[in-house]
Structures are given as C-alpha cells and as structure tokens.
Structure 1
C-alpha cells in the first residue's frame, strides 16, 4: 500500500467518525427511517410502476418514470403518517399521560381491594398506591429524565420524526442505487456478494417485518381481552404489551397475567378466570405459533439470540435497538454462513 492509499484510507476513517458524530444525536430516527423505508419499498415499487403507466400517455417515458417514483414516495409517506405516525403519537400521548398520573398517585386501579387481599395473605399492611407511584416515578425518570423532560422529549421527537420522514422519501428513491453501489464496490466476488446480500435481506425481513407484525398482533389480541374483561387504561396497557411482545420468551404475559390476578382480587372472579383462559389459549398461541412461522423461518435466528440482540440493542441505541440488535447479530450470522458455504467450498475445491 503506497502513501497515497494510506492517506486516503486515513481520510475516509476520519470523515466516517465525524459523520457518526454528526448524526449520533438522531441515530434512532436514522435507523427508524431505514427500517420504515425497507418495509415500504415493495409497495413503492408497485405504486411507482402503476403511476408511471398512468402518466405514460401524457408525458415522456423518462418524465413519467421520475414523476411516478416521486409521487409514490410522497403518497407512501402521507399514508405512513396517517396509518402509523398519528396513531403511534396518540398512543404515546395516552401512555405518557397515564404514566404521569400513576407517578402522581392517581390511578383507576382498585388499590384498596388489592391492599386488603395482600393484608389477608401476608398479615401486613402494604401501601400499594405508594408502590405504584414510586414505580411510575421511576419509569418517568428513566424514560424521560423526569416530568419536565417529557416536553423536551416531545420536541426532540417532533424534530426527529420530521427528519426521519425526509430520509424515508430519499431512501425510497435512491435506496436501490445505494445497494447497487455496495454490490459494485464490494471486493468480494460477484456471486459471493449476491449470496450475502440475499441472506441479509431475508434475515432483515424476518426480524423487522415479522418482529413488528407478531408483536402488534399479539398486543391487539391481548388488548381486546383486557377490554372485554373490563381492565382500566386499556390503551396504556396495550401499548406496554406491544413493547413487551417484541421481546421473545417474555411477551405480553407480564401484563395480562397480573391483570387476570387483579380481577380475581377485586372480586371479579369470572372475568379474571376468563381472561386467564383467553391468555393461555389465544394470546399465547400467537407467540408460540406465529413467531416461529413468521420470524424463525426467514431469519433463522434462535429466540434466545433475538432476545440477547433486543436487550443489547436497547441498551446501545435506545428504542430502535429492538430491531437493530437482532439485525446486527443476524448480519454476523449471515456473514459467517456465507463464508462457510462459499469460501469453504472454494478452499475444498
């Protein structure tokens, strides 16, 4: 390696570190935009082709292709805002509102009934309301840095979401060009690069799309059960279950299980028993059957590996680490598998 190449590599390393430093405050939203663009891209391909065909008779082919891609990107972003961003913002607002109320000691839970039952079981008086308030304060402090941090978090989220939507638009338009550039600049043989890209694509599809679909399905099914059983703050607990359901081997049981016990404690025995049966025979089936079918068959990752990636990702980059962690581990697995199959075969030959 000559001096020119060494200098160029050093310059690339320095600029890469500076770029990481610049985007680090919004790295969660950059990752979120990449995930959303990945999910939307198949729809973008179909919609842009349809729009191109509609415009073909009115403008030149090159113009109709470009306009079709632009209109498709804008349409999908607007659809995402209506179908994803607004509902998620509403659910997040309800979650924050209920969490701050719990932190202040205000809750719709029948605390006195729980305290009476615990006194009978343990022979001691336990201030459940104080415990819930302390737990709420701890969550508010951990998630937002205190009640005053909620506003700061909301403002930062607004800026981050605006940035993410712009990134989604340009990723939809230029994503294939970027993938093509990776293929062209890869030092690996063309067939090895293609094999690696296909493996990473299948793994990412399984982790991202399957992860989200199974978690949302399980949370919605469980939320219907909570609503039918008369559990208070259903939207709040459904949001919590949607997050917990992203964690394999844990799932939504940590919500519907205690909720069933709570109903029994407050003398709603029938509702509590029915909710428990619903959880065992309906909610648990979603996790036990849908997750292996949707995720494992495509990602080929053990649930324990996914769990490790989820917790490590959350600790490293925040909420989007739910997906980043398993994807990073999956990319490592795909790379190792590609090396084993392609280069072992080459070496053996």
Structure 2
C-alpha cells in the first residue's frame, strides 16, 4: 500500500467518523427510515408500475417512469403516516401518560384488594402502590431521563419523524441505485458480494417479518383480551407484551397470566377465568402456529438470540432497537455464514 492509498484510507476513516458524529443525534430515526423503506419497497415497485401503466400513451416513457416513482413514493409516505405514524404516536402518548401516572402513584389497579389478599395469604403487609410507583419512576428515568425529559423527548421525536419520512421517500426512489453502488464498491469478489447481499436480505426479512411482526400480532391479540376483560392501562400493558412476546411460549404470559390472577383476586372470577382460557387457547396459539408459518426459513436465528437483540437494541438506540438489535445480529450471522462458505479457513 503506497502513501496515496494510506492517506485516502485515513481520510475515509476521518470523514466516516465525522459523518457518524453528525447523524448520531438522530441515528435511531435514520435506522427506522431504512427499515421502513425496506418493508415498503416491494409495494413501491408494484405501485410505480401500476402508475406507469395508467400513464402509458399519455406522456413520454421517461416522464411516466419518473412520475410513477415520485407518486408511488408520496402515496406510500401518506399511507405510512396514516397506518403507522399516527397510531404509533397515539400509542406512545397513551403509554407515556399511563407510565407517568403510575410513577406518581396514580393507577386504576385495585391496589387495596391486592394488598388485602396478600395479607390474608401471607400475614404480611405489602405496600403494592409504593412498589408500582417505584417501578414506574424507574422506567420513566430509564426511558426519558425523568418526567421533565418527556417533553424534550416528544419534541425530538417530532423532528426525527419528519426527517425519517423524507429519508424513506428518497430511500424508495434511490434504494436500488444504493444497492448497486454497494455491489460495485465492495472489495470482495462479485460472487461473494452477491451471496452476502442475498443472505443479509433473507436474514433481515426473516427477522422483521418473522419474529417481530408475530410478536406485535400476539401483543395486539393479547391486548384485545385484556381490554375485553376490563384490565386498566391496556395500551401500556400491550406495549410491554410487544417486547416480552419476542420470548417464545411464555413471553406475553408474564402480563396476561398475572392479569387473570388479578381479576380473580378482586372477585371478578368469571372475567379472570375467561381471560386465562383466552390466553391458553388464543394468545399462546399465535406463537405456536403463526411463527413457524411467517418466519422466513432462511433466517435461522435462535429465539434467545432474538430476545438478546431486542433488549440490547432498545437499551442502545431507543425504541427502534426493537427492530435494530435482531437485525444487527442477523446480519452478523449472515456475514459469518458467507465467510464460512466462500473462504477456506484452513
């Protein structure tokens, strides 16, 4: 390696670090936009083709192609706002509201009934309300840096979401060109690069669609059961189950199981039994049957690894870590598999 190449590599490294420093405050939104664009891209291809066919014969081919891509991107952005951003914003607002209420000691849970039942069974007096308030305050401090940080987080989130939507639009338009640039720039042999890109694509699709979507589906179904049974703070507990459901078989049970017991404790035995039956025969079945059908068979990741990625991702980059963590581990697995198959280690 000559001096010119060494200087160029040093310059690339310095500029890369500077770029990371610039985007670091919004890195979670950049990653979220990349994931959303990845999910939307197949729809973008079909929609842009449909628009081009509708414009065929009315405008020039080059114009119809450009209009098709632009109108498709705009339509998908609007659809994402209606179907994803607005519901997520509402859920986040309700989650923060309920969490801060719990941190202040205000909860709709019948604390007195639980304390009386514990005292009757154990003979010990437990201040359940104080325990809930302590846990709630710990979560507020961990997620937002305290109650005062909620407003700051909300303002930063609004700016980040606006940025993410612009990034999604341009990722949809220029994503294929970026992938071609990666293929052409990669120092690996062409066939190895193609194999690696295919493996990363399969792994990412398997993680996003397989594990995470099934976990979210299970959380929503469980949340419906909690709502029907009359459990308070349903949105809050649904959000908790969305994370726990990534742990197969018993994840969501950590919420709906105690919820059923809580209903029995406060003398709502029928509701508690029905919720328990609903959990066993409906919620649990989603995990047992939906996951094998939905998961891409090319993404062979152990569920424990997925769980580690989820919690590590959330701790590292925030809410989008729910998706980023498992994907990062999946990409690592794909890279190692490519290295094992395409290079002789002996």
TM-score, normalised to structure 2, is 0.95
Following TM superposition, where does structure 1 have runs of at least 4 consecutive aligned residues deviating by more than 4 angstroms?
A: 247-250
Deviations 1:98-119 (A, max 9, x none): 1111122211111111010010
Give the match for residue 137 of structure 1.
137
Alignment RMSD (CA, Å): 1.6
In 2, Cα distance between equivalents of 1:12 and 1:260: 57
Deviations 1:147-200 (A, max 9, x none): 111110000000000010000000000010000011112222222211111111
Residues 251 and 287 in structure 1, CA contact (< 8 A), matched pair in contact too: no
1:53 Cα deviation from its structure 2 partner: 1.3
Give the match for residue 276 of structure 1.
276
Residues 94 and 235 in structure 2, CA contact (< 8 A), matched pair in contact too: yes
1:247 Cα deviation from its structure 2 partner: 4.3
In 1, Cα distance between equivalents of 2:93 and 2:164: 20
Deviations 1:13-45 (A, max 9, x none): 000000001111111000000000000000000
Tell me if 1:308 matches 2:316.
no
1:55 Cα deviation from its structure 2 partner: 1.6
- Paired residue secondary structure (2:187): coil
Residues 296 and 302 in structure 1, CA contact (< 8 A), matched pair in contact too: no
1:313 Cα deviation from its structure 2 partner: 2.0
1:97 Cα deviation from its structure 2 partner: 1.1
Give the match for residue 235 of structure 2.
235
Tell me if 1:77 matches 2:77.
yes
Moved more, 26-35 or 309-318: 309-318
- Paired residue secondary structure (1:297): coil
Give the match for residue 178 of structure 1.
178
- Paired residue secondary structure (2:58): coil
In 1, Cα distance between equivalents of 2:271 and 2:175: 50
Within 5 A, what are the aligned runs for 1:93-172? 93-172=93-172
In 2, Cα distance between equivalents of 1:301 and 1:293: 15
Residues 114 and 262 in structure 2, CA contact (< 8 A), matched pair in contact too: yes
1:296 Cα deviation from its structure 2 partner: 6.0
Give the match for residue 15 of structure 1.
15
Distance 1:305 1:296, change over 3 A: farther
1:251 Cα deviation from its structure 2 partner: 2.3
- Paired residue secondary structure (1:176): helix
1:250 Cα deviation from its structure 2 partner: 5.2
Distance 1:87 1:23, change over 3 A: same
In 2, Cα distance between equivalents of 1:249 and 1:175: 37
In 1, Cα distance between equivalents of 2:270 and 2:322: 36
- Paired residue secondary structure (2:343): helix
Residues 215 and 246 in structure 2, CA contact (< 8 A), matched pair in contact too: yes
Residues 29 and 163 in structure 1, CA contact (< 8 A), matched pair in contact too: yes
Structure 1, unaligned runs of 5 or more: none
In 2, Cα distance between equivalents of 1:14 and 1:234: 48
Residues 204 and 327 in structure 1, CA contact (< 8 A), matched pair in contact too: yes
In 1, Cα distance between equivalents of 2:65 and 2:77: 18
In 1, Cα distance between equivalents of 2:174 and 2:249: 38
1:217 Cα deviation from its structure 2 partner: 1.1
Give the match for residue 48 of structure 2.
48
Give the match for residue 321 of structure 1.
321
Give the match for residue 34 of structure 1.
34
- Paired residue secondary structure (2:285): helix
TM-score, normalised to structure 1, is 0.95
Give the match for residue 89 of structure 2.
89
